[in-house]
Chains A and B, each alone.
Chain A
């Protein structure tokens, strides 16, 4: 079964509004989670590393004020897309490393489709 859960799976929002995506690690604690963005027929692009209890680390070119990341607990990280625009429409995926399984395997959430209209 899934070990990392994302919610919502699908979301449609109006341009200019904000939308929050949740990423939860199930039955394990994740001090670090990762947020990716994936465009059609392309590979995963790391956006930021979410650190529990501290600020997220953003990759070059990713606007931290637009993509707000909060890692409030050891099992939950949230990505908020602020003032969304149609070009933010994409597939967003989170992942977390479980050090207990297979020696620190990284598991992914099911992904969240964001459509900004």
Chain B
């Protein structure tokens, strides 16, 4: 059974204090790993898709990396508006499009 584990569950950072969120996964044949941002009371907002180990993607203060066992979401010099829950999800196969989500990391950036 596919498993996705995110850590830490919650993270509190001072504005400007860089850090990383972790997403560990076990899946037979990774087809894609997704990162989303979710604000309270809203649907997840797409951030990145990673497909193979060694791949990296960046968007503003966020950078996502992927290895064969885990993915990291690096946040550089975060701002209060980066506060949200960050969700990681994996897709196993193209034929069966089920996506397994982690429980998320709730990030709070203090001014």
Question: Is A97 an interface position by the 8 A CB rule?
Answer: yes
**Would A46 and B46 count as touching, CB distance under 8 A?**
no
A-B contacts, CB under 8 A, total: 54
**Would B32 and A43 count as touching, CB distance under 8 A?**
no
| Interface positions of A (Cβ within 8 A of B) | 4, 6, 32, 34, 42-44, 46, 49, 91, 93, 95, 97, 102-111, 113
If A32-B97, A43-B87, A93-B43 touch, does A105 touch B49 (CB 8 Å cutoff)?
yes
Which residues from chain A contact B43 at a C-beta distance below 8 Å?
A: 4, 6, 93, 108-111
**Would A44 and B101 count as touching, CB distance under 8 A?**
yes
| Closest A residue, CB atoms, query B89 | A106
Which residues from chain B contact A104 at a C-beta distance below 8 Å?
A: 32, 49, 91, 94
If A97-B97, A106-B91 touch, does A43 touch B42 (CB 8 Å cutoff)?
no
B: interface residue count bin:
20 to 34
Question: Is B99 an interface position by the 8 A CB rule?
Answer: yes
If A106-B46, A111-B43 touch, does A43 touch B34 (CB 8 Å cutoff)?
no
Interface residues of B in 41-84 (CB under 8 A from A): 41-46, 49, 51
| B49: contacting residue among A44, A93, A103, A113, CB under 8 A | A103
